[in-house]
Structure 1
Amino acid sequence: MRSLSFFSTLISTTLLVTQVLADAKEYTLNVGNAYIAPDGFYRSASVANGQFPGPLLSATKGDSMKVTVNNQLSDSRMRRSTSIHWHGIFQTHNSYNDGPAFVTQCPIAPGNSYTYDINIGDQAGTYWYHSHLSSQYVDGVRGPLVIYDPDDPHKALYDVDDESTIITLADWYHRFAPDLQAEYLSPNNTLSREQLPDCGTINGIGRYKNGPTVDRAVINVEAGKRYRFRIINASAIGLFRFSLEGHSFTVIEADGVNMVPYPANYLEISPGQRYSIVVTASQAVANYWIRAPLLNGSGNNANLDPTNVFAVMRYAGAPVAEPTTATGFASGTKLQEVAIVPLENPGAPGLPVNGGADKVFNLAFTLQGGNVAANTGVMWKVNGRAYQPPSVPTLLKVLSGASTNDDFDASENSFVIASGDVVEINISGVNNPHPFHLHGHTFDVVRQNGVANYVNPPRRDVVTTGPGTTTIRFKADNPAPWILHCHIEWHLEGGLAVVFVEDPDGQRNDPIQPSLAWENLCPIYNALAPELQ
């Protein structure tokens, strides 16, 4: 790996210029263990700053952001190293701070710290952060991240947009993630049964069958005001159907991308996805149900009531109580993911035909159930091969000279693409919904549910695939290795991922290179006893 001394002045200058032009937001996340009870069941969890979800991290478009992660994890029943991914942030010229363990960094060892210098650039919108080491975020390391835009093209549509209007949907488990993961991937799981949560939560509060009656989360509103609700699905598997009793809304953002306003009565949101909706508090002063039932909640967890996921929208002056009306269910106009239209610069790169790109990748996914006789566990395979994280991070291999597909382990599922390539990816072989997330980019969804659109297709960073083939496109303009993976956590751990190694020479020749602190992550982690990793 090249010496970094040459670049220290350039990095310092870049940071100085950034801070002159914008505010420098600095945060600290103490990632440790705490006993919490989001649904009334107390368990040890891995959380940021002692809470679930973690604290809001926010900035204004154009700001710089530094987040120091102090690893204080000590509970041996869960992973004790960590890494944090900033979901939806492109990290241009900054891939080493993207966060996925063994793709762009080694994990942060217990008792150690690392400061993520996050390149926000011109992005604004609704994002989130979560652990990206194995299945650790299932145990609680996840929280909201919002970049506000003073010049938001939709700002005339709403009056209130602050921390009080963020709605984080998440599933919650009573058991520890390593145990759940081992059970799911076991050879004994011959039917590939999913690991379902014990409850769904809204802003960190939920209920499970026969559990205590935990007070619902409350969103406070005032009659006559218009609110921008930022909805984040921070789940490991949960697919939610979101609606508001007695209130329709207008969807204006999907995954950090401004949309042509879309009036609707309800929407479905997959793990990793985010939406902004505008709601007018136009009804009588009262309490109203916020409904978010889990759609994939039938299965093998007796604690889970997938229909019992509610919060309360409380008008000023209403009683401090739950609504007196029946909980009801979503009806009316549904947001159709395939019909989302980006507000700015619509249109997919490449030619407006199937295959009209520089590189076309056909990714066929298959599921292999556990096999006791063969002693093989559950695996999700991409073109016949399950992704396995390498022992040396992919980015470190690139910086050390890796330039072709053959320079990476076969199990890394890595594909090299050139600078400027228009990349088309055909995802097939999945029948049930799978949310696929691409790091480092948004993409245009040019085919979904049998509908092709090259003129103004949906643009986002998580797409819900299946049934049939889903096709996405992006332009290779951000040199780095970027992982594309299913955001159902158990499927990722089973191998449902590939890595696009974008412009290796561009990555090596970038004047902004990893810091000494980043370089030290691997030797510190590699020296740990296995139980501390």
Structure 2
Amino acid sequence: MARAMWILVCTFAMHAFAASAKVVNHTFRVGNLTVQPLCEERVVVAVNGQLPGPTIRVNEGDTLVVLVINESPYNLTIHWHGIFQKLSGWADGPSYVTQCPILPGNNYTYRFNITKQEGTLWWHAHVSWLRATVYGALIIHPRAGRSYPFVKPHKEFPLILGEWWNANVVDVENEANLTGAAPNISDAYTINGRPGDLYPCANNNTYKITVTQGKTYMLRIINAALNNELFFKIAGHNLTVVGIDATYTEPYITDVVVVAPGQTTDVLLVANGPTGSYYIAARPYASAPILFDNTTTTAILHYNNSTSVAAPLMPVLPAFNDTPTAHRFYSNLTALRSWTHKVPLDVDEHMFITVGLGLEPCGVNATCAGPSGMRFAASMNNASFRLPTTLSMLQAHFSGVQGIFTDDFPDTPPLVFDYTNANASQLVSTTLKSTRVKRLAYNSTVEMVFQNTAILSVENHPIHLHGFNFFVLAQGFGNYDNATHRSMFNLVNPQLRNTIAVPVGGWAVVRFIANNPGVWLMHCHLDVHLSWGLSTAFVIDNGPTVSSTLPPPPLDLPRC
């Protein structure tokens, strides 16, 4: 009866959108691919023999159907990063959260509608570190009859910033998990799968954009790197930011863009420089005093009427630790006023969430390679998240299966201390693994303060919430003080995001409406921190109507 009711509801919805919407079908064959970005051939996991994988283009209102065939040697899921998945949480993709993995030799069809979103998102693997090579752009154009809230660009280019290891990334992660130490750093960064001219053996392996003098272009910048935020710059040209995370912004002119892993930024580029060639470059914003890949990836912007044989002009990039430049960019963005959603003023749930690194015991009669013979861990409110292994959390929630998770994630940290003072924070340096979630009533408004901690070191953490956008009300440095910092809140046109880069040694305040029943992961998008447990999840109960009730799982949902 329940499934029949949902078929009726979905049929009605499809007829309602039939005038402008369509069904977009794709097939992803995920398998081994031999590539040579640098000096040696490597076998990686990729989609349809491409790196990056295929770009998906849809219009707002369309239904996307993607058959994923797993021909790789690893378990697999695909996450459609930033898609709301309204009443389609079974298609969200994080392993053991909304589904069990697609086993080698098996397949699963993801089906979902794309509504009330326009701009640039992306898709990627959400199991192990496979997203290092399993990723691609997901571009949402306005529906028929609607246009951009700015002059239509002459042409658009997706630019996906990636990260490359001269090793099997699954082995890199497994070795780190076994020893409890930090994983090996990457060997290169890439733009659309290519490292660029500054790396050895990278001749003729540089992505190139050709432009015409006087034309305007849209660059859809996606940070798909595993563990690094990136500065992005084009020599001799300014950029105008018009969108972030598939939401429109007030135009913001800048010569440098910063993108954290998981984030997207749409910029307009006017080809108004002297004819010639210019490097497009990206290198890390490294906010923590730790070892990192300090290399630079490049692409080339070339004017099509240029006869110059000179080398491309190189931009002057910010210093790796240039936090003022990063913060100025992140905090100056605001939502486009004519498209702004109304910020909810009445808050039902207040949460103060500490985020950062710590340690956990190595195990009985064992010694790990982390500090003090322990292993690295990461946590929110001193709870280090552990994924289940026998059933997905959404299946357990839907069917009322006990023992998979507990809904007792704390609203506040267990101890109040000077969060950004390293000496004081040693009081809570250890944490324990658990699968604790926060349960929310349907349509409740939630405000979260993310507070960075200096338990081991301070670092900018990109926190991603599945299933929702949130309003970024304010962000700053030091310890958050409600009495002082609340006056900084932008309640008029705050930026809307699905991933917030919480300032290094600082805080950020976000707010969202829990109007989508299901189970939604919230985690740091630095994959090393996700592996260590810097995540939790929200369980959102059904609403009072059929249209606010999670439907049954699809018949082909993978089983554990």
How does the TM-score come out when normalised to structure 1? 0.86
Contact 1:33 1:73 in 2 (8 A): yes
1:315 alignment partner, one of 279, 294, 303: 303
Residue in structure 2 matched with residue 423 of structure 1 by the alignment:
446
5+ long unaligned stretches in structure 2: 369-373, 410-432, 478-484
Deviations 1:139-177 (A, max 9, x none): x11111100115666454343243xx1111111112222
Are 2:522 and 1:495 equivalent residues in the alignment? no
Instruction: Tell me the CA shift for residue 281 of structure 1.
Output: 0.6
Contact 1:265 1:330 in 2 (8 A): no
1:265 alignment partner, one of 244, 255, 258: 255
Contact 1:338 1:457 in 2 (8 A): no
Question: Partners in 2 of 1:62 and 1:412 — Cα distance?
Answer: 35
Instruction: Tell me the CA shift for residue 454 of structure 1.
Output: 3.3
Residue in structure 2 matched with residue 174 of structure 1 by the alignment:
166
2:82 alignment partner, one of 84, 88, 91: 88
Q: How many residues matched?
A: 501
Residue in structure 2 matched with residue 147 of structure 1 by the alignment:
140
1:356-375 to structure 2, matched below 5 A, reads 357-369=347-359
Instruction: Tell me the CA shift for residue 91 of structure 1.
Output: 0.7
The change in CA–CA distance for 1:399 and 1:485 in structure 2 (over 3 A counts) is same
Q: Among all aligned residue pairs of Structure 1 and Structure 2, give the percentage whose two residues are the same amino acid.
A: 27
The change in CA–CA distance for 1:12 and 1:81 in structure 2 (over 3 A counts) is farther
Residue in structure 1 matched with residue 421 of structure 2 by the alignment:
none
Residue in structure 2 matched with residue 338 of structure 1 by the alignment:
331
Q: CA RMSD in A?
A: 2.9
The change in CA–CA distance for 1:243 and 1:14 in structure 2 (over 3 A counts) is same
1:221-300 to structure 2, matched below 5 A, reads 221-296=211-286
Letter in 2 for 1:465: V
Aligned residue for 1:206, secondary structure, equals coil
Are 2:471 and 1:444 equivalent residues in the alignment? yes
Aligned residue for 1:397, secondary structure, equals helix
Instruction: Tell me the CA shift for residue 480 of structure 1.
Output: 1.3
The change in CA–CA distance for 1:93 and 1:283 in structure 2 (over 3 A counts) is same
Are 2:481 and 1:459 equivalent residues in the alignment? no
Aligned residue for 1:386, secondary structure, equals strand
The change in CA–CA distance for 1:322 and 1:117 in structure 2 (over 3 A counts) is farther
1:376-391 to structure 2, matched below 5 A, reads 376-391=374-389
1:72-221 to structure 2, matched below 5 A, reads 72-74=71-73, 80-138=74-132, 140-149=133-142, 154-162=148-156, 165-187=157-179, 189=181, 193=182, 195-206=184-195, 210-221=200-211
Which segment is superposed worse, 151-160 or 232-241? 151-160
Residue in structure 1 matched with residue 430 of structure 2 by the alignment:
none
The change in CA–CA distance for 1:493 and 1:473 in structure 2 (over 3 A counts) is same
Letter in 2 for 1:96: W
The change in CA–CA distance for 1:381 and 1:46 in structure 2 (over 3 A counts) is same
Contact 1:483 1:498 in 2 (8 A): yes
Letter in 2 for 1:243: K
Instruction: Tell me the CA shift for residue 338 of structure 1.
Output: 1.3
The change in CA–CA distance for 1:429 and 1:246 in structure 2 (over 3 A counts) is closer
The change in CA–CA distance for 1:282 and 1:516 in structure 2 (over 3 A counts) is same
Letter in 1 for 2:110: Y
Instruction: Tell me the CA shift for residue 435 of structure 1.
Output: 0.5
Contact 1:403 1:504 in 2 (8 A): no
5+ long unaligned stretches in structure 1: 75-79, 352-356, 527-533
Question: Partners in 2 of 1:494 and 1:436 — Cα distance?
Answer: 14
Question: Partners in 1 of 2:310 and 2:100 — Cα distance?
Answer: 46
Instruction: Tell me the CA shift for residue 429 of structure 1.
Output: 3.3
